[in-house]
Structure 1
Amino acid sequence: MKLHALRYAASLAIVFALLGHVLNRYDVRFIDTLDALIYDTKVQLTMPRTVDSRIAILDIDEKSLAELGRWPWDRARMTTLADTLFTREGIALLAFDIVFAEPDASSGLAALNRLANGDLRDDPQFQRTLPGLAAQLDYDRRFADALEGRPVVLGYYFANQAQTSGAIPPPVLPARAFDPHPMTLFDWSSYGGNLPSLQKAARRGGFFNPVIDFDGSVRRVPLVTEYRGAVYEALSLAVVRVLLGSAPLSLAFDAPADASSTLSALTLRTPRGTLAIPVDANGAALVPYRGRQGSFPYYSVADVLAGRIAAGALRGKIVLLGTTAPGLVDQRTTPVGEVFPGVEVHANLIAGMLDGSIRSEPASAGVLQALVLAVAGLAMIFAWPWRVPARATLLTILLTGAVIAGDLALWRHGAWSQPVAALLLAIGALFVLNMSYAFFVESRTRRHITRLFGQYVPPELVEEMSRHPESYSMAGRRAELTVLFSDVLGFTAIAETLEPEALAELMNEYLGTMTAVMRDERGTLDKYIGDAIMGFWGAPVEDRDHARRAVSAALRMRAVLVDLNRAFAARGWPTLWAGIGVNTGPMTVGDMGSSVRKAYTVMGDAVNLAARLEGLTRHYRVEILVGEATRARTEEVVYREIDRVRVLGRATPVAVFEPLMTRAAWDSADPAEHDDLKQWHATLAHYRARQWAAASAKLAALVERHPGCGLFMVYRERIALLQATPLPDDWDGVHTFDTK
Structure 2
Amino acid sequence: MWSSLKGWLWEWRGVLVAGPSAATIIILLRLIGALQPLEWGALDQFLRWRPTESTDDRIVVVGIDETDINRLEQWPASDRELAKLLELVRAQEPAAIGLDVVRDRPMQPGHDRLIEVFKSTPNLVGGGKTSYGVAPGEAILGNEAIAPPPVLAELEQAAPVNLVQDSDGTVRRGLVAIQVNDQGDSEVSFSLYLAALYFEANQIPYVDTLDAIMPFSSNFGGYAVADNSGKQFLLDYRRSDPSFTIVSMFDVLDQKIDPELMRNRVVLIGVTAASEKDYFITPLDRSIWGDFGETSGVEIHAHMVSYFLSYVADGRMGIRVWSEPIEWLWILGWAIAGSIISWKWRHAGGKGKETQSRVNFIYLFIQTISTLGLVGLLIGLSYGAFLAGWWIPVVPPLIATTVSVALIVGYIAQSAAEIRTQFGRYLSDDVVASLLETPEGLKLGGQRREVTVMMCDLRGFSSISERLDPEQVVQILNIFLGTMAEVIVKYRGTIDEFIGDAILAIFGAPILGENDAERAVACAVEMQLKMTEVNQRITALGLPKIEMGIGLNTGVVVVGNIGSTTRAKYGIVGSNVNLTARIESYTVGGQILISEPTYKAVDSCEISGSLQVEPKGVTEPITIYDVSGVSKYDLQLAGSEFELLPIAKDVIVEYKVLQDKHLGNDVFEGRVMRLSPNGAEIITDEELTPMTNIRLLPPLGVDQPQADTGFYAKVLDRPTEPHNGDRTIYIHFTTIPPEAEVWLLNLYDEAQKVKA
Shorter-normalised TM range: 0.3 to 0.5
From the two aligned structures, give the one with the greater helix fraction: 1
TM-score normalized by the length of structure 1: 0.46
